[in-house]
Amino acid sequence: MEEEYVTGISGLPSAKQAAHDAAVTRLRDAYAAVPAGVPVRLAKPTSNLFRYTRDAAKPGQPGSERAILDVSAFSRVIHVDPAARTAVVGGMTTYEALCDATLPHRLMPLVVPQLKTITLGGAVTGLGIESSSLWNGLPHESVTEMEILTGDGRVVVATKDNEHSELYFGFPNSYGTLGYSLALKIELMPVQPYVHLRHFRFTDPRSCMDAIAQIAANGEYEGHKADFLDGVAFSTSELYLTVGAFSDKAPWLSDYTGQQVYYRSLQANREDFLTIEDYIWRWDTDWFWCSHAFGVQNPKLRRFWPRKYRRSDVYRKLVAYDQKHGLTAVLAEKRHHPPREMVVQDVEIPVDRGGEFLGFFENNVKMSPVWMCPLRLRGDHAWTLYPMQPGDVYVNFGFWGTAPLPAGQRDGYYNRMVEEEVSALDGHKSLYSSAFYSEEEFRRRYNGSAYDKLKAEYDGAGRLLGLYDKCVRGR
């Protein structure tokens, strides 16, 4: 195949363009030097995936050899243009670093996923969501240019209307099976210093879903402007929607990086004020509510848990260590407790079916709380591998924890049940965690025929794993 010239992302100052192009050349050469058949992995210090490999080869066994690519040159913000409200960002850059670069200009990405170490490239090739998603869609919708190292070794820039437009629309939800994003040009939006929150309680799922539909139509709720919207269901009789509005003043400010826990404030307060930075990261300090498993929400322990370690990536490393060594499982067995299944998923359900999903979940899985985040595609174009309908309002339900397995049931019992219910409700499931779909069902739900076409065009020799192998078989 004829080598393609690296054109680069548009609008970069010449010195920054030259430095970036040099890094691209080094990475492309390193990738080309990897022998055929040797799997490739990126040397990323963090991950927010929860696909713990079930069939991976152990060190020293056939198939365990992997080429590790150094992508550290792509873990920074390359350029911010405050006048144009755009940024050019390395694909391995965390949203924490990205917001650190944009907030001093009183700008932020249109959608900032909740956890600090999610990378921009990860949120684009996977999926990301936050409380601005009802208005701004998903993170990839505010990307105007994608510079991608494809599986066949080319470096291309994909936009919605150039010769690589099919890759542009097919890259989201491909999870690195078509290539890796090296740089992305994104839109930014202006912010004010503070966010004014109001928490509204509902006593049944239907009225909560109706309120979401009303906010989607009107942009406000009970006179409070909805720049942001998400919520928490503690049960089907205790649900909260949090409506956030930008503000240039704050009569008081709360701090949930210290002794107070954010999600508990929804039950205690009717309104609140946070700085824009604290609002963006309000869920990271306690990993939503998952820090409870480590005792961090116990006031006595919390005082001694260093603030710098109250963050999602620390907790995730603890979970990964436990999964690797099976500590919790061994302890449960010694205590004669039933084995527990990890149920870590995000699903999108049409808003008019959201109440059904919450009822199903409470009756069958019995985990709480559940995060609720309304979303709607920003534009009028569907995205190839995650075919939500433009204009339709969905609710993302996020649930992250473990549930005791009934007698005689094996791991996968709850996750399979959730998959079946999501399909029955005409919803979609993110692929960052365990999946159990048959290959036929997976292809139907994630546009397998279109994926095959993209795979043939950009990774015809299959140097990278296929989407089903990576996301379901866990290779």
Alpha-carbon distance of 386 to 167, in angstroms, equals 14
What 3-state class would DSSP assign to 251? coil
Sorted by where each begins, the domain ranges of the chain are: 14-191+455-473, 326-436
Query: Which residue has tokens 């299959």?
Result: 462
pLDDT, one tens digit per residue, over 278-319 is 999 999 999 999 999 899 999 999 999 999 999 988 988 888
Rounded to two decimals, the pTM is 0.92
Binning pLDDT at 50, 70 and 90, where does residue 375 land?
very high
Strands (E), 319-404: 340-350, 370-375, 394-404
14-191+455-473 in CATH: which number? 3.30.465.10
Nearest to 122 by CA among 79, 91, 165, 147: 91
Contact 23, 9 (CB under 8 A): no
Q: Before 369, cis peptide (omega within 30)?
A: yes
The count of residues in the chain is 475
326-436 in CATH: which number? 3.30.70
pLDDT of residue 47: 66
Mean pLDDT over residues 226-236, rounded?
Answer: 98
* Side chain identity at residue 333, one-letter code: E
pLDDT, one tens digit per residue, over 243-262 is 999 999 999 999 999 999 99
Percent of the chain past pLDDT 70, that is, above it, reads 92
pLDDT of residue 277: 98
pLDDT of residue 289: 94
